[in-house]
Amino acid sequence: MKLALGPLLYYWPRQTTMDFYAAMAEEPVDVVYLGETVCSRRHELRLADWFEAAEGLLAAGKEVVLSSQSLLESESDLKTLRNLVEAGKEGRMGVEANDMGAVRLLEAAGVPFVAGPTLNIFNGHTLALLAGMGATRWVMAPEMSREQLAGVLAESPKAMETEIFVYGRLPLAWSARCFTARHFNLQKDACEFRCLAYPDGLALSTREGEPFLTLNGIQTQSAKVYNLLPELPEMEHMGVALARLSPQSEHMSEVIAQFRGYLDGKLEPGAAWNTLRTLELSEPCNGFWYGKPGLNLIE
């Protein structure tokens, strides 16, 4: 099973981000997803910067995929999307489609693509349609269970690669409103880029102090960290090709090492799990995989 580094969901300063990807080039991840998937106002990295990061990763032998924005509202958002499709045409980097508009453009351009987690692929019929349009890989929506996955895999084309989100705060919702800006009584258009101050998102708790969600601009995430490390052998047995790890601001190398170590048979799952507990941003959960409320942890 390959390891994929999912797109960076948070907003970091340009140098921090470039340093991060320079470091990732040395890591035992096979695929790296680049690009801004959350907010079109985030411009620390322009497209040219993402391409620069890509070159370093390609030189290190990584597969690079450019991820498109999940929520596309404006003509300017569509222009950025068209630029990604153009880059995909060259064939050196893949493109992840996170909106049906992206699928339309990629199909029209004849560019094979990754069907991203917000395309709502819940059954084999939809997956087959996307395969026909050029999808060669799909990323399962994190809310789906292993039963639902088995159902889709039973009907999916053999050549289609499956990728599962196995580690990180879960993206749960998108909005036109920016909740980070709202916290500071600012509007999205004048947000002062406050999300730069929260490299792993802004914590939201209940009125009795229980961590519940994480605010990441227009994206709302779980407070808990999804962690399916113990479930990797089962996934591999089901035919899952890639495990996606979502970047966090610190200890990413150590996180990757636990997953790679376990997959290579060099680490016991218990030991890897315990190490991850010291590196995680918060409590782990795995409810979605088991068809339960996402915040549950099924031992």
Partner 1 sequence: MSVANTMELVCPAGSLPALKAAVDNGADCVYLGFRDETNARNFNGLNFDDAAMKEGIRYAHDRRKKVLLALNTYPQSENWQRWTRAVDRAAEYGVDAIILADPGLMAYARKAHPNLRLHLSVQGSATNYEAINFYVEHFGIQRAVLPRVLSLPQVEQVIANTQAEIEVFGFGGLCVMVEGRCSLSAYATGTSPNCDGACSPAKSVRWQQTERGMETRLNGILIDRFKDDERTGYPTLCKGRFDVEGETYYAIEEPASLNTLDMLPQLMAMGVSAIKIEGRQRSPTYVSQVTKVWRAAMDACRREGEKFVPRAAWMADLNKVSEGQSHTLGAYYRPWK
Q: Which of residues 113-172 bind partner 1 (CB under 8 A)?
A: 118, 120, 122-130, 141-143, 147-148, 151-152, 154-155, 170, 172
What does the block give as tokens for 289? 């995989």
Residue 87: in which H helix or E strand, if any?
helix 75-89
Q: Which is nearer to partner 1, 271 or 298 (CB)?
A: 298
Distances (CA, A) of 116 to 33, 41, 189, 236: 11, 21, 27, 20
| 102 touches partner 1 by CB under 8 A | yes
Q: Which is nearer to partner 1, 101 or 269 (CB)?
A: 101
Considering the complex, what minimum distance in angstroms separates the CB of residue 150 from partner 1? 8
Considering the complex, what minimum distance in angstroms separates the CB of residue 73 from partner 1? 6
Binding characters for partner 1, 217-236, by CB under 8 A (x = yes): ---x-x--------------
Among 2, 183, 194, 251, binds partner 1 (CB under 8 A): 183
Considering the complex, what minimum distance in angstroms separates the CB of residue 90 from partner 1? 21
Considering the complex, what minimum distance in angstroms separates the CB of residue 250 from partner 1? 20
Among 90, 189, 264, 299, binds partner 1 (CB under 8 A): 189
Among 79, 158, 207, 237, binds partner 1 (CB under 8 A): 207
Among 23, 46, 92, 212, binds partner 1 (CB under 8 A): 212
For 279, list phi and psi in degrees, rounded to 5: -105, -15
Considering the complex, what minimum distance in angstroms separates the CB of residue 198 from partner 1? 10
Residue 259 makes CB contacts below 8 A (sequence gap 6+) with 3, 166, 167, 229, 232, 243, 245, 272
Helices 124-133/100-109 angle, 10° precision: 40
For 133, list phi and psi in degrees, rounded to 5: -90, -5
DSSP bridge partners of 25: none
d(CA 275, CA 56): 29
Among 175, 234, 236, 277, binds partner 1 (CB under 8 A): 175
| 282 touches partner 1 by CB under 8 A | no
| 73 touches partner 1 by CB under 8 A | yes
Q: Which is nearer to partner 1, 55 or 132 (CB)?
A: 132
Q: Which is nearer to partner 1, 24 or 223 (CB)?
A: 223
For 42, list phi and psi in degrees, rounded to 5: -80, 110
Site for partner 1 in 240-269 (CB under 8 A): none
Query: Based on the number of CB atoms within 10 Å of its own CB, is 192 exposed (0-12), middle (13-18) or buried (19 or more)?
Result: exposed
Q: Which is nearer to partner 1, 216 or 258 (CB)?
A: 216
Among 77, 86, 161, 283, binds partner 1 (CB under 8 A): 77
What does the block give as tokens for 184? 């500071």
Considering the complex, what minimum distance in angstroms separates the CB of residue 139 from partner 1? 14
Among 78, 238, 241, 279, binds partner 1 (CB under 8 A): 78
What does the block give as tokens for 207? 């009125």
Complete edge-to-edge strand list for the sheet that includes strand 31-34: 135-139, 113-115, 94-97, 63-67, 31-34, 2-5, 242-245
Site for partner 1 in 12-51 (CB under 8 A): none
Distances (CA, A) of 2 to 121, 128, 163, 236: 22, 23, 9, 10
